Structure 1
Amino acid sequence: MAKVIAGVATSHVPAIGVAMDQGKTEEPYWKPVFAGYQKSREWIEELKPDVAIVVYNDHATAFSLEVIPTFALGCADEFQPADEGWGPRPVPVVKGHPELAWHIAQSVILDEFDLTIVNKMEVDHGLTVPLSLLFGQPEEWPCPVIPLCVNVVQYPPPTGNRCYNLGKAIRKAVESFDKDLRVVVFGTGGMSHQLQAERAGLINPEFDNRFLDELIAEPEAASRIAHLDYLREAGSEGIELVMWLVMRGALERDVEVINRHYHVPASNTAVGHLVLENVSD
């Protein structure tokens, strides 16, 4: 039987990927950002998961305003890194796990979550930056990856509660898969930031750290945060944090914190990171 064994939450700031790709990780500005991930890299190297499910949002590369799925599951054999205007990142092709992905699609859709099944999709920094933060810069990613893309760009995005319950449905799906696989779920995006208008550059450490506290110990409370509260407290792009709730829903109620990291700023964003393991494991 397959099993979700841990969860990773992390920001996916595009400038982080650029800093890695250009060898700037030891520069004074960037060094504190990357230092907070060192323990997580050592942890995942030792854990050696069989599959990673990465929850992220597309940034107008795979999808445009012509088609906006609320939840899109990548079921392909592989996913090419996207060209986001300056060429694709120099990272490996993302290898999928179609067998598990199709199983998740069947299970979750029959649990009444309407997923869009995607058989061809490029993946942008929302997915590749988290992989780089945890796995470094290998010649190939050390495990297959199942992309789960969530709409947090075009109103209305899904609620935190919907995302939290989707995570529970994903966990149920994984546990009904008849092969022994150890699965890690990534929730990516955030934390507080706003990229435009009068509040551009907004960062709210108080809200961010309260969210981290609730995600760990009171996920139901975090799942009840309203869209307007994300907008008011965390900026227009803070809504990305609902994707962390998919990861949290896939874990048990009680978790152990393996690593926690928070740093301001990275580009114009607050960077947050958690590694959580199920207590029973």
Structure 2
Amino acid sequence: MARITAGIATSHVPAIGAAFDQGRSGDDYWAPVFAGYDWVKEWEKSEKPDVVILCYNDHASAMMLDVVPTFALGMAEEFTPADEGWGAREVPVVQGHIELAAHLAEQLVLDDFDLTLMNSLDVDHGCTVPLSLMFGKVAEWPVKVIPLAVNVTQFPTPSGNRCWMLGEAIAHAVESFPEDLNVQIWGTGGMSHQLQGPRAGLINPEFDNSFLDGLIDDTDRLRAITRLDYLRESGTEGIELIMWLIMRAALGPDVEELHRFYHVPASNTAVGHIVLRPKSIGALAQAAE
């Protein structure tokens, strides 16, 4: 059967994508950011995932603000990089996994998640920047991807607890898929940042690092963080962290941390990154050795 073998969380700052595309990753300013992803790039070469379920948010690229689904699942054979106003990123087209996506759609609806199914979807930096960070510059992405777009831009947004419940339902759905697939789930966005208003430029390292700690063994606290809490503590865009909770919930109750990175700033954002593995998967790997 299919199995979720790891969870990855990362910021998806658009300026990181621009620095990557323009060959500036070695600049003094950007080098510390990209160095934080050296470990995961090497690790992914050995893990060789078949499919990534990638939780991200659309930035008014494919979904205008007149229609914003709470949860939208990509159901296409492929997803083209979006033109976000300055031309599409020159990165590979994202290839979908239509069979697993269809299975997820059916099972999640049966689990009472009324998803919007996207049979056509252009994906913006929220999806493509994490792929660049995990796999570097490649002719084609080495994994199939199922994009899961979460509304964090238009009120009302889903609660962290609802996102947690979605992650649990995704785990159950993947486990019932009959094909032998190595599946990873990623949560993207965050960490603390605010792009406008009197508090523009806000970064809260204490909140961010507490959130990273909580992903390991204090998840009940994270599930209880409200929209107002995110706004107050992590800025207007900090609510993107609810997508990390989808990832974490899909891994089950017990996880081990394989890698962590935190850096301030990248553009005007705190960059966070963590790699987690279900302890059950770790035990199987040790037994195999």
Structures share a fold, TM > 0.5? yes
Pair 1:11 & 2:14 matched: no
Give the C-alpha shift of residue 71 in structure 1: 0.1
**Number of the residue aligned with 2:206:** 206
Residues 242-262 of structure 1, C-alpha deviation per residue, up to 9 Å, x if partnerless? 000000010021111111000
Residues 111-152 of structure 1, C-alpha deviation per residue, up to 9 Å, x if partnerless? 001110000010000000000000111000001000000000
**Number of the residue aligned with 1:230:** 230
**Number of the residue aligned with 1:108:** 108
**Number of the residue aligned with 1:137:** 137
3-state SS of the aligned residue for 2:52?
A: strand
3-state SS of the aligned residue for 1:127?
A: helix
Pair 1:156 & 2:149 matched: no
Between the aligned partners of 2:258 and 2:247, the Cα distance in structure 1 is 15
Write out the 4+ residue segments of structure 1 that deviate beyond 3 Å after TM superposition.
none
Amino acid at match of 2:135: F
Amino acid at match of 1:70: T
Between the aligned partners of 1:45 and 1:163, the Cα distance in structure 2 is 29
Amino acid at match of 1:59: H
Give the C-alpha shift of residue 66 in structure 1: 1.8
Compute the TM-score of the two structures, normalised by the length of structure 1. 0.99
- The aligned length equals 281
**Number of the residue aligned with 1:97:** 97
Give the C-alpha shift of residue 67 in structure 1: 0.9
Amino acid at match of 1:56: Y
Between the aligned partners of 1:23 and 1:192, the Cα distance in structure 2 is 26
Amino acid at match of 1:90: E
**Number of the residue aligned with 1:247:** 247
Between the aligned partners of 1:47 and 1:204, the Cα distance in structure 2 is 33
Amino acid at match of 2:227: H
Gaps of 5+ in 1: none
3-state SS of the aligned residue for 1:139?
A: coil
**Number of the residue aligned with 1:20:** 20
Amino acid at match of 1:66: D
Amino acid at match of 1:54: L
Matches within 5 A, 1:161-172: 161-172=161-172
Amino acid at match of 1:82: A
Amino acid at match of 2:58: D
**Number of the residue aligned with 2:284:** none
Between the aligned partners of 1:206 and 1:79, the Cα distance in structure 2 is 36
- Percent identity (aligned): 64
**Number of the residue aligned with 1:260:** 260
Between the aligned partners of 2:221 and 2:116, the Cα distance in structure 1 is 28
Amino acid at match of 2:271: V
Amino acid at match of 1:279: K
Between the aligned partners of 1:219 and 1:261, the Cα distance in structure 2 is 19
Residues 77-128 of structure 1, C-alpha deviation per residue, up to 9 Å, x if partnerless? 0000000011000100000001000100100110001110000010000000
Amino acid at match of 2:200: A
Gaps of 5+ in 2: 282-289
Q: CA RMSD for the aligned pairs?
A: 0.5
